[in-house]
Amino acid sequence: MDTVEVVVIGGGQAGLSSAYHLRRRGFAPGPGFVVLDHAPHPGGAWQSRWPTLRYGAVHGLHPLPGTVLPDAGAQRPSSEVLRAYFARYEETFDLPVRRPVDVRAVRPAVDGRLLVESDAGIWRTRAVVNATGTWERPFWPRVPGQAGFAGQQVHTRHYPGPGAFSGRRVVVVGGGTSAVQHLLEIAGSAAETTWVTRRPPRFREEAFDAAAGRRAVALVADRVRRGLPPQSVVSVTGLPMTEEMRRARERGVLDRLPMFDRMTANGVVWDDGRFVEADAVVWATGFRPVLDHLAPLHLREPGGGIRLEGTRAVRDARVHLVGYGPSASTIGADRAGREAAVELAGALAPSGDARR
Ligand code: FAD
């Protein structure tokens, strides 16, 4: 068993930002802190985004702390560009990332420390920064008849790109950016597309300024303060209207129907009798935080969420959540990593070997 001051779980933007700031605040790689990441490569969730998500299409990306975003072609796959960027980052700042290490559970130890159990052993630690994101917990709504649908069903998590839907009748479900991106590219070669969202989508013509960003974050932060499951920040910012979307709207691609009530073997059905025949349904219905490994710590409130004071869990001050709720964006992840590191430096004051 290794003993360290801080274990960071997850090596995406939030985990690497935490690592960068822990180093800057005197935690030594190794005895001071370690990052455990179960992904095969650097890049966090970006390494497994769908192949046709181009670098130029991920607007609003914030660079990792202390760097600028790579100057790469807009047409290159975002997964490729960002994987290389994250790998360089880990190397440049000499961050102690152990990979692939799958964290299975975090438990309280009898001596007041925490035990981080993984497939590569156990780490004994004074604090955990949890940065496990949402990508690995896709959310699928349950709809009557869903299991009997004879066509293909795929979630954004495993969306293969538009080629798989060429010549087919496709229903895309979801009101976020991913849904629109899928819809636009599938519409180019599908026989027919239908867009379905629970609420009418909100298109945003105006630029998304800092004040609007703060308002969106405040909405999510308020839910987290009340112990409710967070919504994604991206889901409350509205859909930025692009030139491509304007053209698609003129062609009727963005005409939207409310959520259907049932599925049959060959399509989707509304209670008012409307029926749309479909060969495939693409569920762009979002993600939930990856937190099962924290269950032994009983951090959840009756409302289902984890209450935070800044990044610190109200129910256990040894645990920080970064990239969660209001910090689930690239800029939020950067800030949360810094906040967690500043607080842990104050609370733990690393010394001896743990100090750089
Ligand atoms: P991740 O990048 O998911 O990293 C989590 C890491 O933890 C992964 O490496 C994973 O392997 C690891 N992990 C998980 N569980 C374990 C475990 N048990 N043990 C060990 N390791 C584990 N934000 C923006 O600001 N701008 C955008 O344009 C934008 N576009 C987006 C597009 C899509 C399709 C999606 C889904 C999100 C987008 N976001 C965007 C949100 C943004 O990607 C994330 O909020 C941000 O990257 C946060 O990263 P993270 O470190 O929290 O999580």
pLDDT digits (tens, 9 = 90+) for 152-170: 999 999 999 999 999 999 9
- Burial class (CB within 10 angstroms; exposed 0-12, middle 13-18, buried 19+) of 213: middle
How close is the Cα of 80 to the center of ligand 1, in Å?
15
Res. 57 pLDDT band, cuts 50 70 90: confident
44 lines ligand 1 (CB under 6 A): yes
Q: Tell me the pLDDT band of 202, cut-offs 50, 70 and 90.
A: confident
Name residue, tokens 């769908």: 50
The tokens describing 204, both together, are 């945003």
Side-chain-side CA neighbours of 64 within 13 Å: the count stands at 27
pLDDT at 336 over 80: yes
Examine the predicted complex and report whether its ipTM is higher than 0.90.
Answer: yes
Q: How far is the CA of 135 from the centre of ligand 1 (A)?
A: 6
Q: Taking the C-alpha atoms of 91, 93, 98 and 100 in order, what is their torsion angle to the nearest 10 degrees?
A: -50
333 CB near ligand 1 (under 6 Å): yes
Judge if the beta carbon of residue 220 lies within 6 A of ligand 1: no
182-194 pLDDT tens trace: 999 999 999 999 9
Q: Please enumerate in sequence order all residues whose Cβ is within 8 A of that of 193, keeping only pairs 6 or more positions apart, or say none.
A: 169, 170, 171, 172, 183, 186, 187, 253
pLDDT score, position 234: 59
CA of 295 to the centre of ligand 1 (A): 20
The reported pLDDT for the residue numbered 289 is: 95
Residue with the smallest CA separation from ligand 1 atom 11 is: 39
Confidence of residue 208 (pLDDT cuts 50, 70, 90): low
Model-level pTM?
0.93
- Taken as a whole, the chain contains a residue count of 356
Tokens 């800092």 sit on residue: 210
pLDDT tens-place string over residues 81-127: 999 999 999 999 999 999 999 999 999 999 999 999 999 999 999 99
**Is the separation of the CB atoms in 354 and 27 below 8 Å?**
yes
Model confidence at 67: pLDDT above 70: yes
Mean of all residue pLDDT scores within the chain: 93
What local confidence, expressed as pLDDT, does residue 276 receive? 98
115 CA to middle of ligand 1, Å? 24
Instruction: Quote the pLDDT of residue 241.
Output: 85
For the segment 138-151, the average pLDDT, to the nearest whole number, is: 96
The pLDDT of residue 306: 95
Whether the predicted pLDDT of 223 surpasses 90: no
* pLDDT above 70 for 235: no
Q: 356: closest CA among 23, 2, 16, 11?
A: 23
Q: Residues near 310 by Cβ (< 8 Å), separated by ≥ 6?
A: 339, 340, 343
Handedness of CA 19, 20, 24, 29 (dihedral sign): positive
What is the rounded average pLDDT of the residues 195-207? 86
Q: Angle between the 330-348 and 13-24 helix axes, to the nearest 10 degrees?
A: 40
Pocket test for ligand 1, best of 132, 231, 311 (most atoms within 8 A of CB): 132
Looking at per-residue confidence, does 351 or 159 come out higher? 159
**Is the shortest distance between the CB of 285 and ligand 1 below 6 Å?**
no
Cα-to-centroid distance, 300 and ligand 1 (Å) = 21
Q: Residue 78 pLDDT > 80, yes or no?
A: yes
Q: What are 243-292's pLDDT values in tens digits? A: 889 999 999 999 999 999 999 999 999 999 999 999 999 999 999 999 99
Residue percentage of the chain with pLDDT more than 70: 97
Residues whose CB is less than 8 angstroms from the CB of residue 17 and which lie 6 or more positions away in sequence, other chains included: 64, 65, 322, 333, 334, 335, 336, 337, 338
CA of 272 to the centre of ligand 1 (A): 39
Look at ligand 1, atom 16, and give the residue with the nearest C-alpha.
132
| pLDDT for 181 | 93
Residue among 7, 13, 283 to mutate when testing ligand 1 (max atoms within 8 A of CB): 13
